Amino acid sequence: MSYEKDQMEKFLKGDGSSDRLDIPLLKYMWDASPLAFMTTKESYHEYFKKISVLQSFSDNEIRLFTKFLHRREFAVNEVIFRQGDSGYGFYFIFSGSVNIYANQQIQTDDLGDLVIRLEKRQYFGEMGLLEDFNRRSATVVAAESTVLLGIFKPDLERMLEIYPVLGAKFLRETALIMANRMGQLTREILTLKKKVKDLEQRV
Amino acid sequence: MNATRNTQAAKLYLFYFLLLAAIVFAVMFPRLTLPFGFSYIIYLMSKPLTMMLTTGSKKQRFFYLMLILVCVTFLFFPLFATLYNLETDFGGLYQQLPEVQKILQDKFFAFKVEIFERFGLRINMDPVTFVIQKLEKQGSKVLVQFPNYVSSIFEWLLLVPMFLFFFFKESKTFSGLFMETIPNSIFEKTYVLFTQFNTKFGEYIIAKFIEATILGTLITLGLLVVGFPYPFILGFVAGITNILPYIGPIIGFIPAFFVALLSKDPNVSMIAMVSIYAIANLIDMILVFPLLVSKIVNLHPIVVVVSIIVGSQLAGIVGMIVIIPFIAFFKLLFKEIYQDLSVQL
């Protein structure tokens, strides 16, 4: 039985007329709105619900969080930021994909070595949000026509001021991302050390 | 890759062109840009208050509302009282002008005689008459221009609320549109600097306003207690001039010094007046300034004094007041550019 029929039956029986606000119903109406596909906010909502690090956010928290985001559109091969630039923002890939390059030679057109390609629902630049006087450690270039959702230092400060719980939650998630990256780095360093040791023994 | 780079460069040039066009428009039409700027300052000043009143629980909002009401009552009452008494004080001063002129001329004549007797030098100039004539000329100029002032006041009364309404209602849409025009290559820096400038500017103006009110109130109360003439207008002038850092307190002190110097009343004590000004400025320097202003504008005293002189040359009294947050912003900007250059080199 559909939700509408269930509600209609309850209404005809006289059960559905409560004075209290029916939150699940409102939530349902929100998600099932026929105009939902037309609004960007709704698609942001759906988008963030599928991002693993923000899964602890409630629907309302996601709604509030999207208020602090900036939508930026990048053409194919457009540089998002360069290695050594001052960093202030954290980006989510809303559509498209980006290439990350490292070891760029300063003041040259050479982008450096391709490290990784990030796709939709992945994110980058979290250090820029947390660190004072952050310098970008890699160059990021749009691999195709890409839409990014960025949150910047002033937005985070405003979020912490207006919605401290949401701000703290977002900071916790960002810290988790950092911790994961640190863990990954540690593992990579250990592997490299082991390889160096093996090479030394062979020599 | 080259096509993308060309499009990016075109977007960047278009943005700089629009920025330049906006500056040229602002300079060419000051009748529009001045009330617009004034409304923007009020909007920035009210931002922290609106944030306090629109967030938090009901209890917190009620507490903030009460706190603001108490502050407004205590801080602004002397200013309202001053406005009420300004007319009386100005009337008194205006009636005293011929007397002041006579006293000044007598004192200068005595000075000339003393110089002649001691050194045999004859001073032929008459600066007192010169200054009084200049003041009279300026006064008549003001009278001639009076209809223009009245019409511009009416213009401001119409434009300022209109712009304020626009800022409160449409600021998000307007800033969103502005953000969209910023090219991707400079977006992060421009956005962060723009936000920092807005915050610094709003906080600085509101902090200076509160500081001026506290100092004006202290001086008015002190002068009232010792029975010094024109306490309201002198407190008001001291408060207003205090908005200018370092040189403001000195300018604010000059009128009281002349009133004490020229007064024949034995109850008017120069020492009491100087002590009141010194104590009020000490309280300002030790308590009010460090708590309210210093964290917002972290500039060297020499930079501040030079900036005030430059500001006065550029835009008179308004320039003297608003130049400080602008300099603080340029400091941030130069720091940013310097860091970028040091990475590139």
Q: Which of B4, B184, B192 sits opposite A152 (nearest CB)?
A: B192
Residues of B with CB under 8 A from a CB of A: 1, 4, 7-8, 51, 55, 179, 184-185, 187-189, 191-192, 195-196, 199, 336, 339-340, 343-344
pLDDT tens track, chain B, 345 positions: 666 677 778 888 888 888 899 889 988 888 888 888 888 887 887 776 776 666 666 676 676 667 666 666 665 565 566 565 656 666 666 666 677 777 777 877 888 888 888 887 777 777 777 777 777 777 777 767 767 777 777 888 888 888 888 888 877 788 888 888 888 888 888 888 888 888 877 777 778 888 888 888 899 899 888 888 888 888 888 888 887 777 788 888 888 888 887 776 766 678 888 899 999 988 888 877 777 776 667 777 778 778 878 887 877 777 777 787 788 778 877 877 777 666 655
**How confident is residue A91, by pLDDT bands cut at 50, 70 and 90?**
very high
**Per-position DSSP letters for B288-309, written without gaps between them:** IHHHHTTTT----HHHHHHHHH
Residues of A with CB under 8 A from a CB of B: 70, 72, 74-81, 84-89, 106-107, 128, 133, 135, 150, 152-154, 161-163
Instruction: Residue B53: list chain A partners with CB under 8 A.
Output: none
Distance from CA of B168 to the nearest CA of A (A): 17
Residue A56 is classified by DSSP as T
- Other C-beta atoms within 10 Å of B75: how many? 16
Indicate whether this complex's ipTM tops 0.85.
no
User: E strands, chain A, where?
Assistant: 70-74, 79-81, 86-87, 89-95, 98-102, 113-118, 123-124, 134-135, 139-142, 146-152
* Sign of the torsion angle spanned by Cα atoms A11, A16, A19, A25: negative
On whether the CB atoms of residues A144 and A97 are closer than 8 A, the answer is yes
Distance CA B175, CA A131 (A): 26
**The two structure tokens encoding residue B27:** 């300079």
- Check B344 against A84: CB less than 8 A apart: yes
Q: For A105, name the nearest residue in chain B, comparing CA atoms only.
A: B344
Distance CA B145, CA A156 (A): 51
**pLDDT tens-digit profile of A138-197?**
899 999 999 999 999 999 988 998 888 999 999 998 988 889 888 988 999 999 999 999
A40 or B240, which is more confident? B240
**How confident is residue A21, by pLDDT bands cut at 50, 70 and 90?**
low
Half-sphere exposure of B82 (CA within 13 A, CB side): 22
pLDDT at B77: 62
Q: For A87, name the nearest residue in chain B, comparing CA atoms only.
A: B188
- Other C-beta atoms within 10 Å of B324: how many? 26
pLDDT at B4: 67
Distance of CA B35 to the CA centre of its chain: 15
pTM for the complete prediction?
Answer: 0.68
- What residues form DSSP beta bridges with A123? A92
Distance from CA of B211 to the nearest CA of A (A): 25
**The two structure tokens encoding residue A19:** 């004075």
Instruction: Residue B192: list chain A partners with CB under 8 A.
Output: 88, 152-154
Task: Please give the CATH topology (third level) of the domain spanning A33-202.
Answer: Jelly Rolls (2.60.120)
CA dihedral B78, B84, B86, B91 (to 10 degrees): -150
- Check A76 against B51: CB less than 8 A apart: no
Looking at chain A, the whole-number percentage of residues with pLDDT higher than 90 is 24
Q: For B48, name the nearest residue in chain A, comparing CA atoms only.
A: A161
pLDDT at B21: 92
pLDDT at A18: 59
pLDDT at A150: 92
In angstroms, what CA-CA distances link B185 with A103, A122, B259?
20, 21, 60
Residue B298 φ/ψ, nearest 5 degrees: -100, 75
Distance CA B193, CA A186 (A): 35
pLDDT at B83: 61
Among candidates B243, B238, B195, B245, which has minimal Cα distance to B220? B238
Domain ranges in chain A are: 33-202
